[in-house]
Structure 1
């Protein structure tokens, strides 16, 4: 049995996971904001950028697979020690490869380590966040993801400053990597040992039973229905993180700095709606919240693609970000409705979401190499529509105290 935590302990736990979400967003956006500079420094085209993103995505799939094994073997808390270190080191190796070595291969190796570390950390921090949400018995998952978005806002903002000041990619990413490492490891000291996330080695549940539990959720149709919601919105979010800066520069003929500003606008819009997400869901419920925001995301992306001028493009970016903001966190929250299998279900849902989040952008890069980046984004419009149509799957199960609405 888990020890009952005092309110101050719960608050420290929640704050620690907030900080880990923030640090992960900061590291990821720092890399994404410098993609145009990476393209120039390495002398590569969109197709070759797509290869780099594919390497990162493929490594992230490995990280996703390892995350479930790590949680079962060592628990989410102890597992994150290793994965946060891997993520930070990967960020720093990437900076080294881009600027000082000007090596495509070293950059790819850095991105592989970064991708695996990030995806494994993401699964485990979502497992922890779901446990926190159930402990507080109210919708908190959007707020956790808001901290990821705050991290991306800060990361993109730093990217704007670094670009304008002419700071090299290496110095930028080294500084970020060290900051992520310190923040992540310091935060884990406030995360309690909890049986619900398999941290307690003395738990009565055998490891074989835990593995069976983790695999059983893949036979649950609700897992795939929730996955459909997350698939479309993860594509919408991931494509912006990786391609928005380039879409602004190459598609709308703007400067690198303007592209970084657009990514900042996107991240700010996501952040605002994730901060507002909990109260909104408690009022409208998960299903209607997701339906409304999917419409906003689709309309915003269409505005961006067809924009005749920059103001319209920026309005579209803001709607795109706002609309895509809650698909992933509410999918996580829905997966955690049943406390008895929350860890396994959240891991499964996170795997589906991150497959889209990480593997989608490289595919878009290959397609955009043939037809251009703006026409390629119509694929995302279709996936957003699919996500909206699948929103009913997020309806809370009987007895759940989170996400029903009308509170």
Structure 2
């Protein structure tokens, strides 16, 4: 009941729900695309290396989109940027779905990739601002909205198994159009002098390494999981999305509990536990003799890594904001946009490197994150800055 109340009765509840809607729609579109990679492979006759090349295109353009988000937010606000991102996402997604030729498909995917970075950066800008207004760590629940959208996207993939990409999926585009009307937080003042203050990038880079490790695992699971089940473990085609669905359900549960767990145990404890459990879960996936055992591994993996990304954004925002978050909003937005770039470094490792190393055998591809995720253990101490509880602040939006 406390969670429901905080979502509906807080003075900034509408801003929290607006940012949550942005995360939800982003997850819905992204997972709807990645869970259909087997269909995309068949439609355009692509092998794993070709798919890796397309994913590389998306990742690089998403990085460019994150840079663009920083530039536009500095001149307007993250509310403007997130709406711009969803307009482009709608156009790109529609072009990719309806493409009559491979070149059109690639162009649509490119536009979607740019939009992906714009929305990733701006929605996290919105989230850290709302977290500041709430006065306590709530980033895990925002990323839980993303996961909920991903679950809906996965269920739609399972429900439409056997149907071709195209017109039947166009109703998905109603979601990014609807979110354009959401009441996002807007700036009510010009950039302050504090925006030009020095940013401790060395500390932020250490946090960014944790982000890299998370997105390496997350992208490997959501992108290559369905291909792994179908191609390596001979799962029925209609069930390959089960690599993603239990992973996302476990992630959603962990993120729903994450706000309270951080408040009770602290971020450092959570992240050290995450590293150990995630590596063990990936070992189960790598050595799984049958696809149901791999699905169990993906399920545990989703719960293990769920809070790494939101806690990383919380810590980066806390460092960038310093003692006076309100007077340094522009600096925080700048840091969040640049910090978001670590997302795509991790995506390169997870999507592209996993596919390239595992081009002959995806077991080898999943062995890469199995080893590297252990790096989260020594990095966990950097998250002590995420406070368990801070005083509430006066509304300002």
Preserved contact between residue 358 and residue 364 of structure 2 (Cα < 8 Å): yes
Tell me whether 1:388 sits opposite 2:381 in the alignment: no
**Could you say which residue in structure 2 is the equivalent of 1:317?**
298
- Aligned residue number for residue 183 of structure 1: 178
Counterparts of 2:379 and 2:178, CA distance in 1 = 37
- Partners of 2:33 and 2:348 lie apart in 1 by 14
Unaligned runs of 5+ in 1: 1-5, 195-199, 403-407
Instruction: Pick one of 238, 243, 262 that aligns with 2:243.
Output: 262
Equivalent position SS for 1:175: helix
Matches within 5 A, 1:202-281: 202-203=189-190, 205=192, 210=195, 212=196, 216-217=198-199, 220-281=201-262
Change (3 A) 1:224 1:259: same
Deviations along 1:267-295, whole A, 9 cap, x unmatched?
A: 11111101111101111100111111121
Does structure 1 retain, via aligned residues, the 8 Å contact 2:126–2:185? no
Shift of 1:8: 5.4
The Cα of 1:62 is off from its aligned counterpart by 1.0
Offset of residue 205 of structure 1: 3.0
Counterpart contact for 1:153–1:268, Cα < 8 Å: yes
Cα deviation per residue 1:278-327 (whole Å; 9 max; x = unaligned)?
10111110011111112111111110110122332122111111112111
C-alpha RMSD of matched pairs (Å): 2.1
1:204-261: CA deviation from partner (whole Å, max 9, x where unpaired): 537xx84x45xx43x5211111011111111111111111100111121112222112
Is the CA contact 1:24–1:180 (under 8 Å) kept in the aligned structure 2? Answer: no
Work out the CA distance in 1 between the residues paired with 2:70 and 2:203.
19
Post-superposition shift, 1:358? 5.2
**Which residue matches 1:167?**
163
Q: 1:175 & 1:56 partners in 2: Cα distance? A: 23
CA–CA separation in structure 2 for the residues paired with 1:72 and 1:355 = 24
> Contact 1:47 / 1:365 at 8 angstroms: preserved in 2?
yes
Residue aligning to 1:405: none
Q: Residues 398 and 48 from structure 1, CA distance in 2 versus in 1: closer, same or farther, beyond 3 angstroms?
A: closer
Which runs of 5 or more structure 2 residues have no equivalent in the other structure? 1-7, 392-397
The CA distance in 2 between the partners of 1:137 and 1:129, in whole Å, is: 12
Aligned position for 1:29: 31
Q: Which residue, out of 185, 188, 204, partners 1:192?
A: 185
TM-score, length of structure 1 as denominator length: 0.87
Secondary structure of the residue that 1:336 maps to in structure 2?
A: helix
CA separation in 1, counterparts of 2:60 and 2:84?
Answer: 19
String of CA shifts for 1:108-138, please: whole Å, max 9, x gaps.
1111111110111111110110011111111
1:56–1:358 CA contact under 8 A, matched in 2: no
In structure 2, relative to structure 1, the CA distance for the partners of 1:230 and 1:172 (3 Å cut) is: farther
Aligned partner (choices 126, 134, 138) of residue 128 of structure 1? 126
Instruction: Output the TM-score relative to the length of structure 2.
Output: 0.89
Identify the match of residue 44 of structure 1 among 23, 43, 46.
46
| Separation (CA, whole Å) in 2 of partners of 1:256 and 1:16 | 36
SS of the residue corresponding to residue 174 of structure 1 reads helix
CA distance in 2, matches of 1:317, 1:360: 14
What is the aligned partner in structure 1 of residue 354 from structure 2? 364
3-state SS, counterpart of residue 190 of structure 2: coil
